[in-house]
A = this chain, B = another copy of it.
Amino acid sequence: MHAAVRALQSERPRHDITVPLIAQRAGVTPSTVYRRWGDLTELLADVAAERLRPDTPPTDTGTLGGDLSAYAEQYLEEMSAPTGRAFLRDIVASAAPGRPAGRCDTYIREQLEIIVARAQARGERPPPVGEIVEQVMAPMMYGILFAVTPLALTDAARLVEAMLARRAVPAI
């Protein structure tokens, strides 16, 4: 079923993907889809969340800053493209059940945990994951979803560097 959705997403504009279409492609009847997912929104959100799930640990560049920049850049590149934005929209649009939006947050934190753990193992003193989410990932998401002037890819590294720079200066 997820495969059917992904296939359609790659060949049709997002707006005219319908439940009957997906059902036909997947070889089931529409009623099956409606009974299992409720409506198109939920299904798309489910597929999008699935697609956001990281399949490999973030690349190890040797330094905390490098790892974070690489991760943030890759994320921004993927999610600021029309396809990625559509994923995020589908995820946000879906309401309570199963909470695809929550899954998205969880995946991000999982990846950041790995980066932070590696940094600690190296003897670096990384910020807590929550701080990275707040100061790097959240501004990126905001930029992707709301900003009038879209983010540039370089903004990912800028956010990471700004966060680490602030961290390097101990409070008075």
Q: Give residues in A with beta carbon < 8 Å to B.
A: 14-15, 88-89, 92-93, 95, 99, 101-102, 104-106, 133-135, 137-139, 141-143, 145-148, 159, 165-166, 168-169, 171-172
Contact = CB atoms under 8 A, between A and B. Distances in A.
Copy number in the complex reads 2
Contact of A137 (B15, B142, B165): B142
A145 B89 contact: no
Given A169-B172, A171-B169, A142 B133 contact: yes
Given A92-B145, A146-B101, A135 B135 contact: yes
Nearest to A145: B92
7 contacts: A101-B145, A102-B147, A133-B142, A134-B159, A138-B143, A141-B142, A145-B145
